[in-house]
Chains A and B, each alone.
Chain A
Amino acid sequence: MSIELISTVVGLILTLMVFSYLIGDNPLFRFAVYIFIGSASGYAAAVVWHYVLTPKLIEPLTDPSQLLLLIVPLILSITLLAKLSPRLSWVGNFAMAVLVGVGAATAIGGALIGTLIPQAEASMNAFNLGAASNNVDAIYRMIESSVMLAGTVLTLVYFQFGAKHTTGGSTRRNAVIEFLAWLGRIFIAITLGVLFAGVYMAALTAMIERLSSVVNFLKSLLGL
């Protein structure tokens, strides 16, 4: 029996065990989940040791020329282990501060240069009709840009919850803001519908892939 056949059979059995959740929670489903979590965690630990710790920390320590460069990350990584103990967790605070500071600075810089500025420029350039190839394209770009701008503005207006007190003691938003917020709800509903459709299509594709493997295996067994 080849390795490929064994892996196919194991995959088929585990797939049916997970599908058994359709009739409710049962030991077969939980067993499959435990196997997945255990194997994934073990594999992740092996990957981290093999791809990260060994080539980037352990092996360079044997080279005296790199020892001075690695002494700082080595100490910081060791202090992170102190986080396991509530009494000694303060020892790892500096290493955590380095991680959070570097990570936050990188993310903020990337978000500013990679998302905020380019997206704002793209929103403004969408109204540049000079880039259109013909009149039909210009009209299409104009409509697309207007819808995009309206969706952005109306969605932002929807989250404007500022209100003023009325004579009756209750609070109420401005009538214009209320109407624009109602339009913004439509755009938000459309966006949520798109996201739901995307999630459904992803799940449907995954299910089709699993059903295809099961059906093809059965067809191969039956010689069809």
Chain B
Amino acid sequence: MNNLGGPSESTAEEPAPEKQDSAQDDLSWLNNLGGAFSSQDTQTPESSTSKPFRTAPLNELTEETKNDTTPDWLRNAMEEPSMPAPGDLSMDWFKEQDKAKDIPPALSTDDDDSSSEPVPALTDIDLPVNDAPSFSAQDVDSMFNIDMPDWLTQDSGGPESPLSKSTKTPANAGESLDPVELPSWVQAMRPVDSAIEGTSATEESEQVPEREGPLAGFRGIIPSAPIGSSLRPKAFSLKLQVTDEQETGASLIEQIIVGEAAAHPKKSTKAASSQRALRWMISILFLGILSVIIGIGSQSLGIFPPGRVSELSNLIGAIPDGSPVLLVMDYDPSVAGELAAAAGPVLDQMALVRHSTFTFLAMSPNGPAMVEHLMLNTGIGRDVSAGGLGYQAEANYFNLGFLPGGSAGVLGFVSAPERAFPQVNVDGFTEFEAVVLLTDSAESGRVWVEQLEFAKQARPEIASKPLIVVSSAQAGPMLEPYVSSGQVDVLVNGLSDAAKYEFVNQSRPGMARAYWDSFGVGLMLAVLSIVLGGIWNFFIGIRERRAIADLG
């Protein structure tokens, strides 16, 4: 029992077993174990933690410590450790421990074992070598740091303890096993009944007590029912718990996926060819009729000038004679014909009546080329002998070129045009008596309106300069709110407004008026095409519905 760390005094009091077989079956070793730990129970927690490697009884410890002047910290360091140091991989330490264990205590020359008291041989207790560790009980306690159960810590030396009674009758242990009183820690370690569902007290009483083995006499330790049958986890349904809305959404997504994956029937060649024929027919109709109207030079359609035209005339009339006017070229070549026709009457009146000096500024890289095209098509840049106004570049009009930077460039130019273009013919933006914006895009036109409004906050004199916008018909509706708010003085929206203003301006330069009849006919053709196409599709739809109804 030295292997279990039991003191020699407690083992000496045990009677020697008469038979080896009976010694294997009885539970006397539990008594020894209890005696071993009963001596430890007398130690204080501090001492057990400060001296974890002491194996001698407490009374011996006290005798030793009386004559020992070595400090505790040095004594602990000088003692041979009961365990190898961490990291020590050598097995020599365990070999020495095994050698010491193999030597019977009677043959040992150790001073502690030289007492005359009888000590039971190790062979009397059938313990496997692996189950007999060489650690003392304090070592075990210090290693696992657990609280010992009460039955191990109770005083085993008393004559009235149950364990001492059982140890006193080892001869009868092999003949019959009396029911024993289970220690509290064993009772606490009986989870079998609680783990098995449906086990009741009546079932427990019906269970057969164990007859053999270390569990002999115990009832209900091993369950009668096969393990696993009652502990089998419940079967859960794999069906998803979804709401109706989620099911609806899932079905909708499924329909979309199926619809996308399904192959659609290719349109028949007959339908495609009919569409192409229809497109050719409409194109020929438009080109033929418009070409004829342009060829004959028809000018029979009337023009009704609205009130906005008079506002523009009054505005241009207020511009000082010979003053510079800024013209912003902000359109693509694709709409050059429309913008030239729309801006023609405005520029013609400025040049003819007010002799204004034009300063062109392009917002796109292709803008500088558009300047010459505009001056020639409107006739302002043509010679007087050719029916034009004879405006000359660098004398009557200036082409500043391309202004980069978008909105930041516009703001920079409005703030200081002479810094952006040193060759500009003015000393400041306020010298421009009017600003004419020619644009085909509502976005780029909005940039100029916004930046001019932004510059007015710092320089209120800019607010007195009129802003005239000549826009393509596709951008006019989006710029109309700026006219309503007063930020734009006059808006000339496409060919329709230009023709009306040209009518007031003595039909000069005549471009808008020349296009007016064909423009009106083209609009009527579009209206007729849309209406006839709608009526045709309406009757086609009715016929298809009747056919489906007849089949159904």
Contact = CB atoms under 8 A, between A and B. Distances in A.
Interface of A: 19, 22-24, 40, 43-45, 47-48, 50-52, 55, 102-103, 106-107, 109-111, 113-115, 118-119, 121-122, 126, 165, 168-170, 191, 194-195, 197-202, 204-212, 214-215, 219
Given A121-B485, A202-B494, A215-B291, A195 B245 contact: no
B287 A211 contact: yes
A54 to B, nearest CB: 11
Interface centre among A102, A204, A214 (most CB of B within 10 A): A204
A109 B450 CA distance: 9
Given A51-B402, A102-B408, A209-B337, 14 more contacts: A19-B287, A24-B276, A103-B406, A110-B450, A191-B477, A201-B495, A202-B494, A204-B522, A205-B473, A205-B519, A206-B338, A209-B338, A209-B341, A210-B337
Interface in B39-71: none
9 contacts: A110-B407, A110-B411, A114-B451, A114-B454, A204-B523, A205-B473, A205-B515, A208-B337, A212-B294
Contact of B487 (A23, A24, A118, A210): A118
Task: Give the interface centre of B334, B407, B440, B446 by most chain A CB atoms within 10 Å.
Answer: B407
Given A110-B450, A110-B451, A198 B477 contact: yes
Contacts of A126: 484
Interface of B: 243-245, 248, 276, 279-280, 283, 286-287, 290-291, 294-295, 333-335, 337-338, 340-341, 365-366, 368-369, 401-402, 404, 406-408, 411, 422, 440, 446-447, 449-454, 457, 472-478, 481, 484-487, 494-496, 514-515, 518-519, 522-523, 526
A40 B366 contact: yes
Given A110-B411, A114-B449, A122-B486, A211 B294 contact: yes
B402 A109 contact: no
A199 B474 contact: yes
Contact of A113 (B334, B369, B450): B450
Interface residues of chain B: helix, strand, loop or mixed (majority): helix
Contacts of B291: 211, 214-215
Contact of B244 (A115, A168, A210): A168
Nearest to B340: A209
Contact of B341 (A109, A168, A200, A205): A205
Contacts of B279: 22
A212 B280 contact: no
Given A198-B474, A198-B475, A208-B515, A106 B280 contact: no
Chain A contact surface mostly:
helix
A44 B245 CA distance: 58
A219 B295 contact: yes
A113 B453 contact: yes
Contact of B335 (A24, A200, A206, A214): A206
A28 to B, nearest CB: 16
B485 A119 contact: yes
Contacts of A47: 365-366, 368, 401-402
B365 A206 contact: no
Contacts of B481: 119, 122
**A-B interface, 8 closest residue pairs, ranked by CB to CB distance from nearest:** A209-B337, A114-B450, A110-B450, A44-B365, A122-B485, A169-B245, A51-B401, A114-B453
Contacts of B340: 209
Contacts of A204: 519, 522-523, 526
Contacts of B368: 47, 51
